[in-house]
Amino acid sequence: MSDLKYQRILLKLSGESLMGDQKFGITSTMLNHYAQQIKELVNMGVEVCVVIGGGNIFRGIQAEGTGIEGVTGDYMGMLATVINGLALQGALEGAGVYTRLMTALKMENVAEPYIRRRAIRHLEKKRVVICAAGTGNPYFTTDSAAALRAREIGADVILKGTRVDGIYTADPEKDPSAVKFVHLTFTKVISLGLQVMDMTAFTLCQEDDMPIIVFDINDPENLRRIVAGESVGTLVKG
């Protein structure tokens, strides 16, 4: 493990990343895509914790206009992340990777309750820990859950997988003149108004100087290259 730059990582996956070309739901193609990448990291000796979103099934903000109370909508979104967590767990174990699904909301029939020391012990035993149900509280996003869990488990870095290969001056899918940043400080991100994470999550990372790497998750080589120390995507630090 001495040749790895990052030995314990927090991988943040959005629920939308599981949709593939669909407009909602989960595709086996994307599940297997992530399972194989995570398996490669485990084989390299990396300790992997995954925080997964639920936007492919339900987002709390969807409750607006439906008559569903906002807090209830947030809890519905948390449950959606558990569905995704179970799906990812199934794909990983199908690939021969030992996992533990841990939830911030108690549901012992399908997952372990999240307990910090237990999560760390699973990581030390080379099990992939999948954290679902966000922080277990309404009003907080899964980005906030990722920042919180990363600090709790002592992760070396947060890896945020997206559809583009880093942070740009504008949305590169809409503005072809957008320029990519290779490195940014927390202060620079705030001054430029760049949307890396929501402000609660970003502040948690800034307080602990937790590095964040935003990268293209669709490239199957990127995770391996990042933990090996190569410059991939955009690094936010310091």
pLDDT > 70: what percent of the chain? 97
Which amino acid is located at 165 in the chain? Answer: D
Question: What residue segments make up the domains of the chain, in order of their start?
Answer: 8-236
On whether the CB atoms of residues 15 and 50 are closer than 8 A, the answer is no
pLDDT in tens, 208-230: 999 999 999 999 999 999 999 99
pLDDT in tens, 62-73: 666 778 888 999
CA 61 to chain centre: 19
Q: CA–CA distance from 103 to each of 113, 131, 206 (Å)? A: 5, 6, 25
Look at the domain 8-236 and name its fold. Carbamate kinase (3.40.1160)
Rounded to the nearest integer, the mean pLDDT of the chain is: 93
pLDDT in tens, 3-48: 899 999 999 999 888 888 888 899 999 999 999 999 999 999 999 9
